[in-house]
Amino acid sequence: MKASRVIIVRGRGVLSPRREVDQKKLLQMYERGFRALTGQPDLREGFRSFFHDRDRLGLKINTIAGRELTSVPDVTLGLAKLLAGKGSLKKNIIIWDRTNRELRASGYSLNLRQGIQVFGTDTEGVGYDPTLVSHLNIGSRLSSIQAQHITASISFAILKDHGLAGVTAGMKNYFGAIHNPNKYHDFNCNPFVAELFDTQPIKNKHKLSILDCMVVQYHRGPSFHSRWAEHYNALLFSFDPVAADVAGWQIIEKLRAKKGLPSLREEDREPEYLFTAAKMGLGTAEVREIQTIEEEV
Amino acid sequence: MNRRQFFKTTGGVTLLSCSGMTSMLMDLYAFGGKANLSQVEARYYKELPEREIECLLCPRFCKLGDKERGYCGVRENIGGKYYTLVYGKVCAINVDPIEKKPFFHFLPKTNALSIATAGCNVNCKFCQNWEISQVRPEQVEHRDFPPKMVVEYARRYTCPSIAYTYTEPAVFFEYMYDTSEEARKKQVRNTVVTGGHINPEPLRDLTEVVDAIKIDLKAFSEQFYADYVRGELQPVLEAIKIVAKSGIWLEIVYLVIPSLNDSVKEIRRTCRWLLEEIGPEVPVHFSRFHPMYLVKNLPPTPVSTLERAHRVALEEGLHYVYIGNVPGHKAESTFCPKCKRVVIKRVGYHIQNVELDGGKCRFCNHPIPGIWS
Ligand code: SF4
């Protein structure tokens, strides 16, 4: 079933230890991932199954942890260019996050003019939408980028261990789309991650999750600690936001087990919010119900 | 946020008629501009391994990795050290009647230079100032207003006191503390308007440099605190006891919200606790709720509900019980508990008459507790 399928594409050596990107291999990884995800050999057709011609697409990245644990700009731009070129989107793509400072610190060049745009919510004239989104336990202002500028969204998140949430990935990435994420870290971020995702401006625009697993922080996240960061060189794709994060969580558990670390359950910080999200009908949290396809390029 | 919105949010618009106020605001704008955040080391935290820290300022005890901020959004771990980002970064400033805080037994008929930075360590669903309390400092217009300048402005605008208010002053502790010390040197008093979510050690330290604290007791149930405040009741009760014991002036506000915290049982329990732990002389204000922020589905508190709470508190033996946010109500005034005559007649924030002599009722000589001069 399309909704609960997760594609993991690994590309050995795609990112060098000096964070240089093998562009050819990266492109192959994206192409392989999208083909497997959509079931369409023709990328253009595949993209049409989830974007409309007139969509304005947001790639919500996560630059909070700084250069070492952020999507390398070439990795993000590689995706944006593929979507712009093979997709019907032309150049209606915004790569964005909370602040221009964090984007710059992660190596991104801001671009507010033509082409693929790159800017933060704190850009003069952008900011947070004045409407207070009030839904279940959530009361937040959304970035105007999410609320107004875009019509479709990819959560292009970094997969990380998270001291409070257990795991941060595609769903929690939208914490960076609100003005007050600091208010939602109680109780292992449960139910807040799920409830935020369930708000109309997020749920209705979200098209798919792509997890950047090039470098996975499997312990002591979400800050960068080289000791517990693995060069995993993978991209993970899913239309199901919950299944994507559950599959990401399994990667983290695998890496933790390999290093002899206790599981997140043993540390009492399993990402419960994923089960809450499943109960809310946002996707599948049961591992046995998720079809994971692993590919290697 | 433009200049008009900035002052509107904090109620400043109503104060532009105060003499000299306009020029004061102009001055602030002249030196202000778009200030950056501060990076002043926080005072109550401990360093942990792997560049992590634990904040010890409030009962949340946030544990944070590098580059992370606490729940209040105004403190950040930078490379394993903890910093306040709002030291001297004021997002609201006004000259307010002290009665607006409300302090009813503290220098009546005077003004307080009232300041706030962004941020709060709880998230009350009925917050009146959420646009400045529930945001990060970079999301609101703010001005550089260092401690010495605060004191200078208080004196210039004949405010015998400074009020740390509007948001949650505990989260700008270092700034409040240093400003209070400066103020003391110049014989300016300090008052704090807080939800009481602050740990005993910093609170005790604070009571050394301020003169009065008003604590918002938002309900008398842990469930209410969990559901509507995102905090805990117990630390607030501890804070009330610490302030009372410290000897500085204390007043309590209880915002009465229809159906959520307005039962006779809950009001009675609150009053009994105050009576037993603090005594009958602590002023208690039952304030009227208006639909706000995330609680818009309830009506404003009926005046009869506030009158019921007022009656219960008097029955329980509290001496100074007020009704707030109902301008013109007779329970805005202070009555002598002995002869029952009005000793301070208030209408809204306006004081019509004071019948006190040396802190005593002019009619029967009964001492009325407070700081009167
Ligand atoms: S003051 Fe702020 S950072 Fe410190 S414990 Fe409280 S909420 Fe957390």
Per-residue b/e over B10-19, b at no fewer than 16 CB within 10 Å?
bbbeebeebe
Over residues A81-102, the pLDDT tens digits come to 999 887 666 679 999 999 999 9
Interhelix angle B173-185/B147-156, rounded to 10 degrees, is 50
Distance of CA B233 from the midpoint of ligand 1 (Å): 16
Distance of CA B53 from the midpoint of ligand 1 (Å): 11
pTM for this model (two decimals):
0.91
User: What pLDDT is recorded for position A90?
Assistant: 67
Q: Is B37 on the interface with A (CB under 8 A)?
A: no
Burial class (CB in 10 A: 0-12, 13-18, 19+), B49: exposed
Measure CB to CB from residue A122 to each of B123, B134, B138 and give the nearest one. Answer: B138
Measure CB to CB from residue B70 to each of A182, A221, A224 and give the nearest one. Answer: A182
Over residues A178-229, the pLDDT tens digits come to 999 999 999 999 999 999 999 999 999 999 999 999 999 999 999 999 999 9
Encoded tokens for B183: 């103020």
Dist. CA B110–CA B207, nearest whole Å: 22
Per-residue b/e over A112-149, b at no fewer than 16 CB within 10 Å?
eeeebbbbbbbbeebbbbeebbeeebbbbbbbbbbbeb
Encoded tokens for A49: 């199954």
The answer to whether residues B356 and B315 touch, using CB atoms and an 8 Å cutoff, is no
- Domains of chain A (ranges; CATH) run 2-296 (3.40.50.11440)
- Please state the atom number of ligand 1 nearest to the C-alpha of residue B42: 4
- Cα nearest neighbour of B69 on chain A: A182
Cα angle A222, A130, B163; round to 5? 80
- Under an 8 A CB cutoff, do A179 and B293 touch? no
For testing contact with chain B, the best of A126, A164, A182, A195 (most B CBs within 10 A): A182
Task: Give the residues of chain B that fall short of pLDDT 50.
Answer: 1-35
- Please state the atom number of ligand 1 nearest to the C-alpha of residue B64: 3
Complex prediction ipTM: 0.89
Over residues B105-123, the pLDDT tens digits come to 999 999 999 999 999 999 9
Closest-CA distance, A240 to chain B, in angstroms, reads 29
User: What pLDDT is recorded for position A87?
Assistant: 65
Q: What residues of chain B lie within 8 A of the CB of A186, using their CB?
A: 71, 230
User: What pLDDT is recorded for position A240?
Assistant: 98
Give strand ranges (E) for B68-216: 75-78, 81-84, 89-90, 92-97, 111-116, 143-144, 161-164, 189-194, 212-216
Dist. CA A259–CA A57, nearest whole Å: 38
Pocket of ligand 1 (CB under 6 A): B 55, 57-58, 60-62, 70-72, 75, 121, 171
- Average pLDDT for residues A240-268, to the nearest whole number? 98
Beta-carbon contacts of A261 under 8 Å, excluding residues fewer than 6 positions away, are A218, A219
Alpha helices in chain B, H assignment, sequence order: 3-9, 21-31, 130-133, 147-156, 173-185, 200-207, 222-224, 233-246, 264-277, 303-316
Q: Which helix (H) or strand (E) holds A241?
A: helix A241-258
Q: Comparing C-alpha atoms, which of B299, B287, B294, B197 is closest to residue B240?
A: B197
Q: What is the dihedral of CA A170, A67, A102, A143, to 10 degrees?
A: -10
Encoded tokens for A8: 């993991």
